[in-house]
Structure 1
Amino acid sequence: MDGFDDSSKKHRDLQPKASPVRRSLKALLIVLALTSLYLGLWPVPVDPVAWEAPKAPGLVGAFAVNDRLRSADQLPLDGHEGPEDAALGPDGRLYLSTRSGHILRTDAHGEGASVFADTGGQPLGLDFAPDGRLIVADAYRGLLAIDAAGTVSVLATEADGLPIRYADAVAVAPGGRIYFTDASTKFGAEAWGGSYPASLLDLLEHGGHGRLLEHDPVSGATHTVASGLQFANGVALTDDGAALVVETGNYRVVRVELTGPARGHLTPILENLPGFPDNLRRGLGGRFWLGLVSPRNGIVDALAGWPRLRSVVQRLPAFVRPKAESHGHLVQLTARGEVQASLQDPEGYGFVTGALETPEHLFITSLRMATLARMSSKSLGFEGP
């Protein structure tokens, strides 16, 4: 037995040992195999739909690069960030929604910002009702109303049996009816950690989960006007009884009929924008103001027809996925979708969501900035209505 044991030991000693290089290669192959399995099979919340993105026009022609926004005044927001939207109140003061959940109030010149109310959610779109209440599209809480004392009440949390998961923009008709967008019925802002991460999921999937809703303040009923929208965003009303709605995921603005047999019918009026369109607000003199929050992304467009690859992108670490770029861009257009002006700031005031026009000023809002931008109407070549 002693001799057998000694022979076995010698035999084992003669076996070739794996070199460090071979061990490293084996470990690398295992890592690559696991990575491939992860990128190909790990569950993701999106179910991407193939579509054909129009060829990006670039910043040329009516959208040629300029620095017209660079001279805008930067107004502090009392420590708050992300003035997503602004509305002019019946008291002549400005009201701003912010990322913190607070509604700020300033004087008529956008100065002296202070907290007016806290929605307890994430307020986005703002407009005033004929009775003086501030109407808020809150991404977490639905459609809200705030009275002059700052008291918040909930107007709607569902429409036609579906929860409102991402109330985004709002416009109130002269008669009091409220039109607002539910950006995504699938990717709720609160459920996915905020309006921005939820928007990325909806845009990546391109599943047509957005809708335009109508709230009747008399009956309290809320109904769907149009559905199937690609991330329903900004909304503004026209003189002839229609709504202009932003489809961020389709890079376009559509006209939606609100009455008659054609109610809910969509007609594109401005297509193939050079950036991701956000808020749309009616100004003065027949003007409408549209914010392009970020330029188009070539990778995002290239992957439009490759749904499986878009799923792979979602499995990548967040820091390597396509990101929004800061390039301030505000577009002036007519109710027919004709572009009248393009105001830009390539390096300064970025992530522009839209604008509020008053007789004296144009106030520019932003997704991330810690200031409200202001330009004089005179400097832009128009004053008054």
Structure 2
Amino acid sequence: MDRPTALVPQHHLSLGARGPEDVVADAYGRVITGVEDGRILRVHGIGDPHTARVEVLAETGGRPLGLEPLPDGGLLVCDAERGLLRVDPVEGAAGSVRVLADSAAGERLRFCSNVVALPDGAVYFTVSSRRYPLHQWIGDILEHTGTGRLLRLPPAGGEPEVLLDGLQFANGLAVGGDGSFLVVAETGACRLTRYHLTGPRAGRADLFATLPGMPDNLWREGPDGPLWVALASPRVPPLDLLHRTPPAVRAAAARAAVHAPYRPGGTIGVMALDDTGRTVGHLVRRRSGFRMVTSVCPVGDQLVLGSLREPGLAVCARPSAR
């Protein structure tokens, strides 16, 4: 698909809290998200802002980011402050929260970002940066540290294994439709990287797709559906130039940026890709009031967008399949 089409907003759904960074759907079409005050929320009836209902599933005590619903009703949570967590909801009350991993390779997990679970019980998750915490994420993007990681937690638990290192702000994570590979979003490099789980290239990584913007969270719409990608920002040419400067220049830029307010632009976008990395959908809206889209999840004939900054969710029309 050569030209993007319009991303058409339908309504905004206030959550009474800021920063629904990742949005996922459970088996009943309910949307689950985590917000900056540490709560995990579940939204019923996303299609109508007047009748939608928001309930609290749990409070992590940190800052929840990436989420992964489990077949048994549990929920995996990447918490930027506490590490990899498991939440077990309780009807009518706040669910229990258990830490699955808070360190790897001898150091604390500073910035867990996104997570997927495989049928064999193994859990794969990303760490965006080993140098910068969440509230200074812009510093890692500018300095281009390449300290992101992909990790694996065995089914029996224990110490996570580092599978990939040197990633440029490792972020969203999704499983290939046939389960033979993972796709990792490298926000700082505007690309998706494929990690092979099976076959002759098992344990190796290669390029899956180069994107026109900075990918954030990913969502796999079933084994036969597309891979949805949220673009947190269009590609920024001055940033590409900065990344080619000496490390000292990038470090100086990062030091200044973490103390300056960040103002996201008004262009937002999402993409859909097939399992070969080919673009099958690209939706863009310019001069959007809802900014810095960090996640996208299809629910029925609508697309639900999350944001690190906004106080709620945006619900947009899903284009009909071509």
Shift of 1:255: 0.5
2:126 aligns with one of 181, 187, 195: 181
- Residue 236 (structure 2) aligns with: 297
- Residue 117 (structure 2) aligns with: 172
Could you list the per-position Cα deviations for residues 260-279 of structure 1 after superposition, in whole angstroms to 9, with x for gaps in the alignment?
664431110111x2221111
Aligned-partner Cα distance in 2 for 1:362–1:322: 26
Question: For residues 225 and 316 of structure 1, do their structure 2 counterparts lie closer, same or farther at Cα, with a shift above 3 Å needed?
Answer: closer
1:328 is aligned to 2:268 = yes
Aligned-partner Cα distance in 2 for 1:210–1:317: 19
Question: For residues 71 and 206 of structure 1, do their structure 2 counterparts lie closer, same or farther at Cα, with a shift above 3 Å needed?
Answer: closer
1:162 is aligned to 2:110 = no
Equivalence map 1:77-226=2 (5 Å): 77=15, 79-90=16-27, 92-109=29-46, 111-149=52-90, 150-187=95-132, 189=133, 195-197=134-136, 199-226=137-164
Aligned-partner Cα distance in 1 for 2:257–2:107: 32
Shift of 1:108: 4.5
Paired residues, number: 310
In the alignment, residue 302 of structure 2 is paired with which amino acid? H
Aligned-partner Cα distance in 2 for 1:253–1:260: 20
Is contact 1:232-1:246 (8 Å) kept? Answer: yes
Shift of 1:367: 1.9
- Residue 247 (structure 1) aligns with: 186
Structure 1: any 5+ residue segments left out of the alignment?
A: 1-60, 190-194
Shift of 1:252: 0.2
Question: For residues 160 and 260 of structure 1, do their structure 2 counterparts lie closer, same or farther at Cα, with a shift above 3 Å needed?
Answer: farther
Is contact 2:125-2:151 (8 Å) kept? Answer: yes
Question: For residues 317 and 83 of structure 1, do their structure 2 counterparts lie closer, same or farther at Cα, with a shift above 3 Å needed?
Answer: closer
Question: For residues 315 and 248 of structure 1, do their structure 2 counterparts lie closer, same or farther at Cα, with a shift above 3 Å needed?
Answer: closer
Aligned-partner Cα distance in 2 for 1:202–1:242: 27
Question: For residues 128 and 342 of structure 1, do their structure 2 counterparts lie closer, same or farther at Cα, with a shift above 3 Å needed?
Answer: same
Could you list the per-position Cα deviations for residues 283-340 of structure 1 after superposition, in whole angstroms to 9, with x for gaps in the alignment?
1442011011112223222222222332332454767798542321111111211111
In the alignment, residue 227 of structure 1 is paired with which amino acid? D
Identity, in percent, stands at 36
SS in 2 for 1:148: strand
The structure with the greater share of residues assigned to helix is 1
What is the Cα-based RMSD across aligned positions, in Å? 2.4
Shift of 1:174: 2.6
In the alignment, residue 210 of structure 1 is paired with which amino acid? G
- Residue 367 (structure 1) aligns with: 308
SS in 1 for 2:129: coil
1:234 aligns with one of 150, 172, 180: 172
The structure with the greater share of residues assigned to strand is 2
SS in 2 for 1:204: helix
Structure 2: any 5+ residue segments left out of the alignment?
A: none
- Residue 381 (structure 1) aligns with: 320
1:268 is aligned to 2:213 = no
SS in 2 for 1:151: strand
- Residue 7 (structure 2) aligns with: 69
Is contact 1:295-1:324 (8 Å) kept? Answer: no
SS in 2 for 1:203: helix
- Residue 26 (structure 1) aligns with: none
In the alignment, residue 59 of structure 2 is paired with which amino acid? D
Question: For residues 72 and 172 of structure 1, do their structure 2 counterparts lie closer, same or farther at Cα, with a shift above 3 Å needed?
Answer: farther
Q: When the two structures are superposed, what TM-score results if normalisation uses the length of structure 1?
A: 0.74
Question: For residues 96 and 315 of structure 1, do their structure 2 counterparts lie closer, same or farther at Cα, with a shift above 3 Å needed?
Answer: closer
- Residue 20 (structure 1) aligns with: none
Question: For residues 327 and 156 of structure 1, do their structure 2 counterparts lie closer, same or farther at Cα, with a shift above 3 Å needed?
Answer: same
